[in-house]
Structure 1
Amino acid sequence: MTTYTPMIQQYLQVKADYQDAFLFFRLGDFYEMFFDDAIKASQELEITLTSRDGGSKDRIPMCGVPHHAAPNYIEQLVERGYKVAICEQTEDPKQAKGVVRREVVQLITPGTMMEGKNLSDKENNYIATISAFFNEKFGFAYTDLSTGESKATILSGIEAVLNELSTSGAKEVVIASDFPEDFRRRLQERNTVTLSIENEVTSIQPSLLQDIQDESIEKTVSRLFQYLHRTQKRSLDHLQPVSVYVMDQFMKIDYHSKRNLELTETIRSKGKKGSLLWLLDETKTAMGGRLLKQWIDRPLLNKEEIQYRQNLVETMIGHYFERQDLREKLKEVYDLERLAGRVAFGNVNARDLVQLKKSLQQVPIIQQIVVELGSEEASNLANQLDPCEDITDLLESSIVENPPLSIKEGNIILDGYHQELDSYRDASRNGKTWIAQLERQEREKTGIKSLKIGYNRIFGYYIEVTRANVHLLQEGQYERKQTLANAERYITPELKEKEGLILQAEEKMVELEYEIFTNIRETVKEYIPRLQRLARTVSMLDVLQCFATISEDRHYVKPSFSSDRNLSITNGRHPVVEKVMNSQSYVANDCTMHKERELLLITGPNMSGKSTYMRQVALTSILAQIGCFVPAEKAVLPLFDQVFTRIGAADDLISGQSTFMVEMLEARNALLHATNNSLILFDEIGRGTSTYDGMALAQAIIEYIHHEVGAKTLFSTHYHELTVLAQELPSLSNVHVSAMEQNGKVVFLHKIKEGAADKSYGIHVAQLAELPEALIERAQELLASLEQTETYTKEVSVVKETVQVEDKKEEAQLSFFDSQAEEKKQVKTTNSKEKQIVSKLKSLDILEMTPMQAMNILYDLQKKVRND
């Protein structure tokens, strides 16, 4: 350290506390980075790497970004999972004795972003924390710093933690330094998250813990809040009381099942388009969009809560014009949750407050529309809409309609709001009027029409005369101040006096406006809890109108719930596939399941719609349990506590697991955790291994679900041999997706019918995929040969059994003719040859033979028999 300059020593001292972050070190108008930070940042941000003398013999790597452009660069780094520590000058350089004092004022991380392009309007930006306790119990909590909402729970097992982490979509996880290494490794394998360490757990504001009774949850939440306070170094008054939830309150859908069902993103593109969320999202506010995603992630189990939502949806469907008015007004409501967060965080600007004002102005109108819906549930919601008139009045009277972005350059506060500010403005405006009048007078007095009075920050106000007109001035008329190439600049005592008054007024005016603005912001901050409650109610209204709009436009029906676990869907449709296709061409299907029909074994050709049929049953149940109507003519459903799926094939390359291993692990998860109130979807289980292994596993799984689990199960397969299980398992029924041949090509009917499929149509599907014609013809030849082999196998089996029977008869008869030696000898010879033939047949592995091999062996055997 002693070899470095004082400034570099200061940098290294600050950097020592932020080893895992880029340190943006403020030097004048730039943020500079040094040493390894500079090398890495220059690569990540594609900026020039330079160097500087730092006092040591070697030059120090350095790069930097202008302070006004820093937010863009910070966003790029945070988006890639890095952290950025902002180190500002906290002392006026003019008053500094030695090196200017600098301190880190904020640590920006993936989980603590408050604004910017990376912060999606309709997605939460969660930061989570995990605490490990005894017996694989874990405390889990997460917070969205931009909205202030926080949730916490206790989970059993690391798999449950990984599922919750995936559901929340948290981008950063805070753990203690002694968090188990194997669990830490699994966290990073499963999720792309930034890990942060926080060991200190201090007491936090009691109001945030008012709903927490469990000491483990309190410890977990305290670690998270301590990390936020330590890194953000500012007011977090917008943090809401922690909401404690229990997993059993909601339908459990693990990470794999959410992915397979494409609830919030598609498997292929990882994007929203094509998912259930994409289909449903007719929300008009950002906060409504976030709540919709939360509801999809956590379908309800409480029938009363579901029916409460359903009743409101039904009411809105019945009031079309009121619903349309509501949708129009919701468009004018900005993101109240994040506006409240920015107010508390201290980075709200005047334009944000104008947005808040405009949003609050819509609330009384929205309230009246909801009252006009007429139902009791709607009236209760209307009563929860708080217009916050005091804030609306304050903002209407204080902030101009189109304020600048900066809050430190004035022109924010309305005339008439503050008396002292008005007096400064009057002085400034009158002074500028006087300047304009002086310019006219001097032009008339000198006869110089091009004379002008200008201003710059260095010289203040000045009179400028072009060099060609200088001779028109009288000696001593003005005092020369500056000589330019084509002009001279002058001042007068009177001009300097007026300049002092104007500049003093403008400086004080800007300072006073900033002070007034911060006072307004502090007043608004007191209303944050009310604004957050208002935001929750508006969000709920937004999601419910969205359900009503989708249900009416797409002809969904209100489902009912059975108490005896019966499931009956009449003409059900897959909601997303129906939207993507022309609705007229979509083939609807029934699904009926009850205690004598708990398990459906689905057969049929590839591409015929087996997977779509299975998914639509699951999606119909999920839609019902979030309170939405469902795509069917009629639907009676049980309340499913869990949904498990195994659909599609994918290797888990990171964990080194094959498709078949992934398949078995997902099947294991369902078999271990499903109850008789669960829904299981298994698509082509066992296809990742050999035919007999796969068939045996599939049958064993079906039998285990039937005998041990009792869950409603849809099981699709290409193993037609399994269809005989319907004769042995009383709760299993065969259904198939119908298809037909037309002019040698397959036509999929997409209709589910009772019974097993009669054939596979695999080669026909290959034809549809337009594989080369020669390949198709060869496949048909091979198929014919294989089918013939199966016939030969059966015939050989019959011959084998006949020879064995004849052999036994022959042996029985020999005892009666023991006295005749010649006959005995002949019989012995014949018997020996037949035994050789039988022995040869016994040694054959028919199923492993090609058709040609089978024909050759049969020819040899026949030749031996005839020669005898």
Structure 2
Amino acid sequence: MSVTPMMAQFLEIKAEAPDALLFYRMGDFYELFFDDAVAASAALDIALTKRGKHLGEDIAMCGVPVHSAENYLMTLIRKGFRVAVAEQLEAPEEAKKRGSKSVVKRGIVRLVTPGTLTEDTLLDARAHNYLAAFAEVRGQGALAWADISTGAFHVATCPRVRLGPDLARLGVREVIVVDGTDIGPVIEDLGAAVTPLGASAFDSTAADGRLRALFDVGSLEAFGAFGRAELGAMGALVEYVELTQRGKLPLMRPPQRQSADDLMAIDAATRRNLELTRGATGGRDGSLLWAIDRTVTAAGGRLLERRVSAPSAVEGIIRARHDAVDWALSEDRLAEDIRSDLRRAPDMDRALSRLSLERGGPRDLAAIRNGLEAADSLYQRVFETSCPLDVSNLIGQEGLRDVLARALVAEPPMMLRDGGVVAPGYDAELDEVRTLRDEGRGVIAGLQGQYIEETGIASLKVKHNNVLGYFVETTATHADKMRADDRFIHRQTTANQVRFTTIELSELETKILNAGGRAQQIEDRIFEDLRAAVLDASDAIFAAARCLAELDVMTGLADLAKGETWCRPRVDSSRAFAIEGGRHPVVERALKRDGAPFVANDTALSADGGAAIRLLTGPNMAGKSTWLRQNALIAVLAQMGSFVPADSAHIGVVSQLFSRVGASDDLARGRSTFMVEMVETAAILNQADDRALVILDEIGRGTATYDGLSIAWATLEHLHDVNRCRALFATHYHEMTALASKLDGVENATVAVREWEGDVIFLHEVREGAADRSYGVQVAKLAGLPEAVVSRAREVLNALEEGEREGGSKPKALIDDLPLFSAVPTPLAAPVRDSGVEARMKTVLPDALSPREALDLIYELKALTDGAAG
């Protein structure tokens, strides 16, 4: 069976993007065929139909409406698909001119992939959407990354060992690699898509030319001295963007080099354990970012996320950020006014990107206008103050701002084709044709009234459709009367109506249609002129947007510090770590919501002569993990430029942050909980330097007691003697508390508890000293284990402890002497005596009691209770 012209076209276009689902535009729908349709129907939960046959087989088909395609695209991208969008490149009328069997020209206009999204509906407004490329040249690695929705473009040297941590820091959605590389699993473990390209895409010489052409410069030296691996990574990234956008490159800022030494190093496991930007459920809720984000703009939210993800390790930068927050706190009324103005500032970065890719609409131009107006208003508020931020970039585009203000209506429509974008009075020709168009509609209404009066047919209507244009319509009962009038020319007869036209109506229609089309043409031209003017000023607009984001983060952090009573930390080049009254920002926020207080704790690590380690013991549920995490989060907050949840804080710059708190099976890679724990611990011991802060919780708990104790013991000694770092080490192995007397840098700490009638009360207070036991049985009781299990556990524990005191008998011998669980009678519940209180209360009618009778009743109930107890 021969292939139809349309199917032949589909297959030809599909061959250009064999690894992507092809959205094939047919009128108001994107259709998918063959295997694409099968995959999309399952992923989108839409009906799978068929359209004809190919090679004797039914052609599977499904489709989605064009107007709601973005929602479907979002679902497909999140499920790991790539989508090629093929649009109609000509009007159907043009195809008909070539012959009745000609097919409308179509072609791929973009490839939609996880790292190349630009639409607001497909993006998180408060998070970057990074695309990255990794290159290696002669053993030297480099990582380039860009957010094409904002124009941000960065590059850094990156040996393989640091690829995972860097990708985790950036939260990259898609990574371009050399075809055939073996680093795919590292990337996929972080949830990013892997995109292979041929080695030629990473050629550094070709990349140099590609980058010079992109930025229209003769040399890249003005941007920095880039190595061959860096050039290769940047070149591959730019080539891929050009490939996916079909030649329409977005506005990209000149690449900025980033040095790893300038940032606190945080690996992927630590980010996950500390929940810096993502909570336990995968979203923002419950994360550090969730707890501190008080920004009021999308760009400010993205900047805050970058700082949380990559705290600075440069004293000058940290101090400048603290100065900015301090200033905003001291000028609290002005800071509130700044935040009020910022709430009116739209996302200029992403509006600029869409305009550069020709995907922008009238509202993107309005976003630039409104953003420049907000920038000017903020400059007028701040420029004469002592604000530590440079706000000069907020002004300088008054001409563009005024043109946009005059040209655009206050609330433009979503689409340019909807019309009504340009404000009255901006263009004289447009005003003229609009008048003709609008008055023409009024004339049509007047003409209808004239015809009704002249014919006496009250039901006569003048209507319009796309086939006949304007026509006079009346019911069939009046058709003969209309035909008798020479003015009315018959056009069409339907079941119940007859349609006519007149020479007068046809001439008026021509004028109206020409005016409407001409008005659209003029608005299209004005839109393109404004778009070009905005793109010409893109560098200045980007700079203004960046300044707005910095003002937002500064005032947001000040609002946080004021509202939560946070203090300014002292950050310097020492190795101090002294926190007074420290709190966990996320836990405290959750407790405050429930009306419960948070118990603050101090931390003091003296590391002048070497290692400084606190060995923490105490029961589960007492708050050990909270104390460990809060100190790590305080370090992150201090070095990202925020005030911290404490009464005071002195922190020597932390170069690396490691946290191994909690673990789970990695079933996909065949690794047990214990194996995951050991891999993460090995990474810490192999990488931590003397300026690192290490947080370890329950090392060795996933194996036999003596194995676990020996591993934990050796790990602590290595941290002390080899890494010589600052560390908080929580354990249930009380034998390890003896190390405090053997190692100069180790001190014991414990979480205070109180026992009451066999139960344990957690005080959540960290004190000096060591715990004498873990209170595991009491915690098990609190968790609701059956009383028989709790009682049996007490018996076994007592036997083991007694045997140890009496000469260290082997546990097996002790347990062999205990009766079996089944032989131990179940404890009987204590008898409850009937006090008569319940029966008496059933006779009481509270509303009928006088105050005196209520008091007498209380005495009566008290007597009944005392009698039952006696």
Tell me how far apart the structure 1 counterparts of residues 517 and 778 of structure 2 sit (CA, whole Å): 82
Tell me which residue corresponds to 2:827.
none
CA deviation string 1:492-542 (max 9, x = no partner): 222212222221222222222222212221221111111111111111111
Moved more, 502-511 or 633-642: 502-511
Aligned partners of 1:573 and 1:587 also within 8 Å: yes
Tell me how far apart the structure 1 counterparts of residues 336 and 391 of structure 2 sit (CA, whole Å): 17
Aligned partners of 1:198 and 1:227 also within 8 Å: no
SS in 2 for 1:129: strand
Of 486, 492, 495 in structure 2, the residue corresponding to residue 485 of structure 1 is 495
State the TM-score, normalized to the length of structure 1: 0.88
Aligned partners of 1:462 and 1:489 also within 8 Å: yes
Tell me how far apart the structure 2 counterparts of residues 27 and 723 of structure 1 sit (CA, whole Å): 74
Tell me how far apart the structure 1 counterparts of residues 355 and 662 of structure 2 sit (CA, whole Å): 47
Tell me how far apart the structure 2 counterparts of residues 96 and 470 of structure 1 sit (CA, whole Å): 41
Aligned pairs (5 A) from 1:386-401: 386=395, 388-401=397-410
Aligned pairs (5 A) from 1:522-561: 522-561=532-571
2:227 is the alignment partner of 1:221: no
Name the aligned partner's letter for residue 185 of structure 2: R
CA deviation string 1:787-809 (max 9, x = no partner): 22223325xxxxxxxxxxxxxxx
Of 747, 753, 763 in structure 2, the residue corresponding to residue 739 of structure 1 is 753
Aligned partners of 1:301 and 1:640 also within 8 Å: yes
Tell me how far apart the structure 1 counterparts of residues 29 and 645 of structure 2 sit (CA, whole Å): 58
Name the aligned partner's letter for residue 757 of structure 1: A
Tell me which residue corresponds to 1:108.
112
Distance change >3 Å, CA 116–CA 316, structure 1 → 2: closer
SS in 1 for 2:807: helix
CA deviation string 1:160-202 (max 9, x = no partner): 11121122222211122132x3x22333244342434354434
Tell me which residue corresponds to 2:187.
187
Aligned partners of 1:574 and 1:616 also within 8 Å: yes
2:434 is the alignment partner of 1:425: yes
Tell me how far apart the structure 1 counterparts of residues 393 and 515 of structure 2 sit (CA, whole Å): 47
Distance change >3 Å, CA 639–CA 189, structure 1 → 2: closer
Tell me which residue corresponds to 2:314.
302
Aligned partners of 1:274 and 1:576 also within 8 Å: yes
SS in 2 for 1:117: helix
Tell me which residue corresponds to 1:204.
210
SS in 2 for 1:654: helix
Tell me how far apart the structure 2 counterparts of residues 765 and 224 of structure 1 sit (CA, whole Å): 54
Of 231, 237, 246 in structure 1, the residue corresponding to residue 259 of structure 2 is 246
CA deviation string 1:548-593 (max 9, x = no partner): 0111111111111344312221111111111111386211111111
Aligned partners of 1:363 and 1:387 also within 8 Å: no
Moved more, 762-771 or 447-456: 447-456
Tell me which residue corresponds to 1:805.
none
Aligned partners of 1:461 and 1:496 also within 8 Å: yes
Tell me which residue corresponds to 2:772.
758
Of 525, 541, 544 in structure 2, the residue corresponding to residue 515 of structure 1 is 525
Rg larger in 1 or in 2? Answer: 1
Tell me how far apart the structure 2 counterparts of residues 610 and 753 of structure 1 sit (CA, whole Å): 11
Moved more, 124-133 or 69-78: 69-78
Aligned partners of 1:211 and 1:241 also within 8 Å: no
SS in 1 for 2:763: strand
Q: How much does 1:471 deviate?
A: 5.8
Name the aligned partner's letter for residue 472 of structure 2: I
Q: How much does 1:724 deviate?
A: 1.1
Distance change >3 Å, CA 758–CA 69, structure 1 → 2: closer
Tell me which residue corresponds to 2:364.
352
Aligned pairs (5 A) from 1:111-260: 111-135=115-139, 137-157=140-160, 159-179=161-181, 181=182, 183-201=183-201, 202=206, 203-206=209-212, 208=215, 209=220, 210-260=223-273
Tell me which residue corresponds to 2:295.
283
Of 500, 514, 538 in structure 2, the residue corresponding to residue 504 of structure 1 is 514
Q: How much does 1:323 deviate?
A: 1.0
SS in 2 for 1:759: coil
Tell me which residue corresponds to 2:855.
none
Aligned pairs (5 A) from 1:439-450: 439-450=448-459
Aligned pairs (5 A) from 1:244-643: 244-267=257-280, 269-371=281-383, 374-375=385-386, 377-378=388-389, 381-386=390-395, 388-470=397-479, 473=482, 474-582=484-592, 585-594=597-606, 595=608, 598-643=612-657
Name the aligned partner's letter for residue 95 of structure 2: P
SS in 2 for 1:274: coil
Distance change >3 Å, CA 579–CA 72, structure 1 → 2: closer
Moved more, 119-128 or 454-463: 454-463
SS in 1 for 2:80: coil
Moved more, 686-695 or 72-81: 72-81
Aligned partners of 1:408 and 1:511 also within 8 Å: no
Tell me how far apart the structure 2 counterparts of residues 27 and 726 of structure 1 sit (CA, whole Å): 75
2:780 is the alignment partner of 1:846: no
Distance change >3 Å, CA 234–CA 509, structure 1 → 2: farther
Tell me how far apart the structure 1 counterparts of residues 653 and 684 of structure 2 sit (CA, whole Å): 17
SS in 2 for 1:39: helix
Aligned partners of 1:83 and 1:109 also within 8 Å: yes
SS in 1 for 2:701: coil
Tell me which residue corresponds to 2:662.
648
Q: How much does 1:729 deviate?
A: 0.9
Q: How much does 1:733 deviate?
A: 0.9
Aligned partners of 2:172 and 2:192 also within 8 Å: no
Percent of matched pairs sharing the same residue:
36
CA deviation string 1:277-313 (max 9, x = no partner): 0111000000100110100111111111111111110
Distance change >3 Å, CA 66–CA 703, structure 1 → 2: closer
Tell me how far apart the structure 1 counterparts of residues 236 and 335 of structure 2 sit (CA, whole Å): 44
Distance change >3 Å, CA 404–CA 655, structure 1 → 2: same
State the TM-score, normalized to the length of structure 2: 0.88
Moved more, 573-582 or 54-63: 54-63
Tell me which residue corresponds to 1:36.
35
Moved more, 758-767 or 407-416: 407-416
Name the aligned partner's letter for residue 694 of structure 1: G
Distance change >3 Å, CA 57–CA 785, structure 1 → 2: closer
Moved more, 668-677 or 159-168: 159-168
Aligned partners of 1:189 and 1:655 also within 8 Å: no
Tell me how far apart the structure 1 counterparts of residues 129 and 818 of structure 2 sit (CA, whole Å): 66
Aligned partners of 1:198 and 1:223 also within 8 Å: no
Distance change >3 Å, CA 853–CA 494, structure 1 → 2: closer
Name the aligned partner's letter for residue 576 of structure 2: N
Tell me how far apart the structure 2 counterparts of residues 110 and 279 of structure 1 sit (CA, whole Å): 27
Q: How much does 1:116 deviate?
A: 4.3
Aligned partners of 2:348 and 2:541 also within 8 Å: yes
Q: How much does 1:598 deviate?
A: 0.9
Tell me how far apart the structure 1 counterparts of residues 107 and 659 of structure 2 sit (CA, whole Å): 52
Which blocks of at least 5 consecutive residues in structure 2 are unaligned? Answer: 820-870
Aligned partners of 2:800 and 2:811 also within 8 Å: no
Aligned partners of 1:167 and 1:255 also within 8 Å: yes
SS in 2 for 1:25: strand
Q: How much does 1:111 deviate?
A: 1.0
Aligned pairs (5 A) from 1:785-796: 785-794=799-808
Tell me how far apart the structure 2 counterparts of residues 312 and 482 of structure 1 sit (CA, whole Å): 75
Moved more, 108-117 or 336-345: 108-117
